[in-house]
């Protein structure tokens, strides 16, 4: 695989946390980093510091994801890496203006839509798609295709764990469908990182992430971003395995059993495509 020395790397959720840390490291390494964030002020601040391009999009609105895809497609002749990093554990159950449970949409449906709308460019660029997932997929995730919104059993951590499971299934199905055409995909757990994770949530994880003690024992954003940086700069098939889910720098040994279900991955793709209105390619 002939990899460009200077890559165009789009990072969503790059206005804070591991996204901003990855953007700094990759920019310092000489890559063209594109910063995408929800907060205009924070996104502009990160981009200004790096001298990077920036786009503002709120994934709680699918119109923002569609607009972002069109803007990226127009701005860049190639995209070498798309890092779907935006997301997190959110607050109480709420539906977006698009009619979907917010955690599902922000963590899975919007990145799925963005990736699909950019798919032709990603294929032409022989790109890498990176998904920031979580060990929460194994600890909390349970996917029911007839209740993606968890209307029957919603809790913040269940919705989050399921969305992170969907990130893994999306990664494996993206690999199955398009790796033969040169596209590579990978998902990873960044570890417990001292960021604003869970700040908007009522989950039991919020006190841990917001406490002084919790932040002292957690990894820095730079350390949490290390795997994203690795996948963005190195070669799939040589340095890491496309279609896999990584924890602590290695293919995860323990995963949610549903993460290994190829038929579930296929059906999730088809259902997600139907929900956001794109062809199930």
Question: Which helix or strand (DSSP H or E) is residue 65 part of?
Answer: helix 62-75
User: 133 — phi, psi (to 5°)?
Assistant: -105, -150
For the chain, count helices (H), then strands (E).
13, 8
What does the DSSP 8-state code read for residue 109? Answer: I
CA separation for the pair 90, 158 (Å, rounded): 11
Q: Which of 76, 160, 245, 246 is catalytic?
A: 160
DSSP one-letter string for 42-53: HHHHHHHHHT-E
Of 36, 38, 6, 4, give the one whose Cα is nearest residue 23. 36
**Cα–Cα distance list, 120 to 73, 117, 212, 236, 277 (Å):** 10, 8, 45, 19, 17
245 in active site: no
Which residues are known catalytic residues? 160
């Amino acid at each position: 695989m002939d990899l460009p020395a200077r890559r165009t790397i789009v990072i969503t959720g790059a206005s804070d946390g591991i996204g901003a840390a990855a953007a700094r490291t990759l920019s310092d390494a000489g890559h063209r980093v594109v910063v995408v964030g929800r907060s205009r002020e924070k996104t502009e601040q990160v981009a200004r510091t790096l001298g990077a391009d920036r786009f503002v999009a709120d994934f709680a609105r699918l119109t923002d994801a569609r607009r972002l895809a069109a803007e990226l497609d127009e701005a860049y002749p190639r995209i070498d890496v798309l890092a779907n990093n935006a997301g997190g554990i959110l607050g109480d159950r709420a539906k977006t203006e698009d009619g979907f449970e917010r955690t599902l949409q922000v963590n899975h449906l919007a990145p799925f839509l963005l990736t699909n709308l950019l798919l032709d460019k990603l294929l032409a660029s022989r790109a890498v798609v990176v998904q920031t997932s979580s060990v929460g997929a194994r600890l909390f995730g349970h996917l029911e295709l007839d209740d993606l919104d968890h209307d029957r059993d919603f809790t913040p951590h269940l919705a989050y764990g399921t969305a992170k499971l969907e990130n893994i299934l999306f990664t494996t199905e993206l690999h199955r469908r398009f790796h033969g055409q040169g596209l590579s995909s990978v998902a990873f757990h960044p570890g417990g990182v001292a960021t604003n994770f869970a700040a908007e949530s009522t989950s039991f994880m919020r006190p841990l992430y917001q406490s002084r003690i919790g932040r002292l024992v957690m990894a820095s954003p730079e350390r949490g971003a290390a795997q994203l940086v690795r996948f963005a700069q190195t070669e799939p098939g040589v340095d890491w395995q496309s279609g896999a889910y990584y924890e602590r720098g290695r293919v995860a040994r323990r995963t949610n059993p549903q993460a290994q279900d190829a038929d579930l991955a296929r059906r999730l793709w088809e259902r997600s495509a139907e929900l956001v209105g794109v062809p199930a390619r």
